[in-house]
Amino acid sequence: MKPRQVSLLSILYHADDYMVMHELAERQSVSERTVRADLYDIKSKNPSLKLLTKPNKGVRLLISQEEFEQLISERIGSLPLDSHEEKRAEQFALLLLKNAPCTLEKITERLYLSRSTAIKVLDETEAWLRTYNISLVRRRGQGLSVSYDEVNWRRVMWELFLRLYHQDSNRNSLEMVCEQIRIFMDGFESVPLIFAIRTLEEQYGFVLSYGSRIELLFYMSVAVVRMRKGKAVEVELLPDKEIEDTLEHKLALELSDYIRSKYILPIPPGEYNALVCLVSRMEIQDFVSAEKTAQFMSYYPRYVDLTHRIIQLAISVLEVDFSSDEFLQIHLLLYLRAAIARMMQGIKVHNPLLDQIKERYPTIFAAAWSLSVLFEADLNLDINEAEVGFLALHFGGAIERVSLTNRVLILCNYGVSVSRLLQAKLEKKFPGIIVEDVISTADEEKARHSTCDFIIATIPVGKHFGGKEVIVVDNFLAAHDISALEKKMKGLRSIKRRKITGEKEIENRLELFRPEFIFLDVKVRSKKDLLSDMCGKLVEHGYVTPEFCQTVLEREEITSTEAGSGVAIPHGASKYVKQSVISVAVLQQPLAWYGDAKIDLLFLLAADLSGDKPGKQELLQFYAAFAALVEHPQSLQRVKDMASPEELAGYMNNIVRGGYRINENDSM
């Protein structure tokens, strides 16, 4: 049976009365002729099916819920058959998860596979399920079954739904997604849950992201289906989610009340807790008003503070002022709320843009890695590279907004009317321009203390005024003035995008790079051996405790620390750092690091940014220098070509102090 035919049966099953052909055709976006052909095909293959047809009334399906679900399960097993090899393991897994125990012969028949191919796919399926902590069980005489925790079963079903059903790059309506869920879950009607989601958004004044709407709809549908089968989930809340006055509890209570009344189901404590976890990781896209935004922020004072400190650290690392970017402040907070919930729940997300971010924006990606220290210090969480990539996107957008904005002063001695006319013309012609103030030649000190990028003057005052560059224009902004301003603003935008400096003076300087922790021309067989040797040296010299080494290795098991350009920046827990230091290894040959990534240069960070610990400012300067380093291949190669540990240590320490400037020519 085709998926379209399953959808047709589902529509008829949930209809209260007869349905005419044109209604069925509209619901499925097909012709009436196609509907008639599908009905004929269904009836001919299922002669006992009570599919009634009446002139002028249409078609009606008379069938019980149990019979309907049995029909769908028997005919297609809720499976969109796919000949691509990469889908076979997933299809195999779906059959097992929904029909176990199941014999290999039955699966072979359903997937149209030879026995030898099925055995091969079975091994792939077992390996894939293992990544979700689900075990394949083989019992003689009973076939194949699976051993799982209900939480993991639901997670893997969500992944299978995304991979096998919800694959379109175009964003389908929620109603269309309900059709996909009907097929996937043997006819379950999830349309009423759309009302619950939309009511929630209206009541609390926010808009969920498209992906979060789909995830919420799917997980609630699965919860209803599983509770009906006596498969309620057991979930215990983390301590910070146990306070009943949190937004998550309020949202979960609304949804659980709706499910209870609509589907006549009691909601066990574990299912309610699962709803709390679910809504906590839903991404809010925007708010309907400033009042709703403020109300939301009042629920998360801790995350508001974390957002502020992440932005302040980013300002130090990237040397770009984000302090007035309200869009960044709000949307970074929204991202952090969902991302932290995901990490606390052990849910890893795929970042489809990760490789592009590393390739096109290495500086921002490297800087985003430096921000991960706050996740560890505040929340004891290890952030993975997919989340680092999302974090980088937020700051990439902020840099674009900064670079597209030019702050100016208008210098005019001809009165308010002339200056305001010029201001209006400028703001109309250049949407990215911000006029800070209108001044006269008597306001040189005001200009000197201004944060403007340059001054637009209607009178000749020289090339500079109050230490700021001046561009002279006509009172009525002539065509040649517009060209000159466009050229100037384009140049400034380019400079702002590339701006990463390391020229701050540091008092009480600490040498982060020491020759005894720098290893050149290293030949090593494995990542574990390399990291163990480097950590061992730090322990031996008293810079870290032995526990530090274990946290470095554990982090590498969880996520990649490859930052692009063949460079990795592993680090351990800051609480085991006695004194901040950075160890370096330059490898003879590229070493397999994580996934397909290979590295030949490694910076092992023993970093402690808490309080006023020695080396804090130097670490911030290192992050800024590192961000610039990965963007300039010549400078990176120079580091790799250093002749001695002393030379490399001196070079890197000088960069941190601001003695050397990293640029394309890498001149000293």
- pLDDT (tens digit per residue) in 171-196: 567 888 888 898 888 888 899 999 99
Which pLDDT belongs to residue 73?
56
- What pLDDT band is residue 81 in, cutting at 50, 70 and 90? very low
Q: What average pLDDT does range 481-493 have in this prediction? A: 84
CA dist 145 and 137 (Å) reads 5
User: What's the mean per-residue pLDDT of the chain?
Assistant: 84
Q: What b-and-e string marks burial along 222-248, b requiring 16 or more CB atoms within 10 Å of the CB?
A: bbbbbbeeeebbebebeeebeeeebbb
* 287-291, 592-596, 643-647: range with lowest mean pLDDT: 592-596
Say which residue the tokens 């792939």 belong to: 124
Q: What average pLDDT does range 271-287 have in this prediction? A: 94
- What pLDDT band is residue 507 in, cutting at 50, 70 and 90? very low
Q: What average pLDDT does range 293-311 have in this prediction? A: 92
CA dist 153 and 231 (Å) reads 11
CB 409 within 8 A of CB 438: yes
Tell me how far the alpha carbon of residue 407 is from its chain's centroid. Answer: 32
Q: What average pLDDT does range 381-403 have in this prediction? A: 83
295's enclosing H/E stretch is: helix 290-298
List C-alpha distances in Å: 591 to 310, 559, 585, 600. 32, 16, 12, 6
CA dist 538 and 295 (Å) reads 48
pTM: predicted TM-score of the whole model, two decimal places: 0.63
CB 530 within 8 A of CB 602: yes
CA dist 202 and 208 (Å) reads 11
Where do the DSSP E strands lie in 313-463?
A: 406-411, 433-439, 454-457
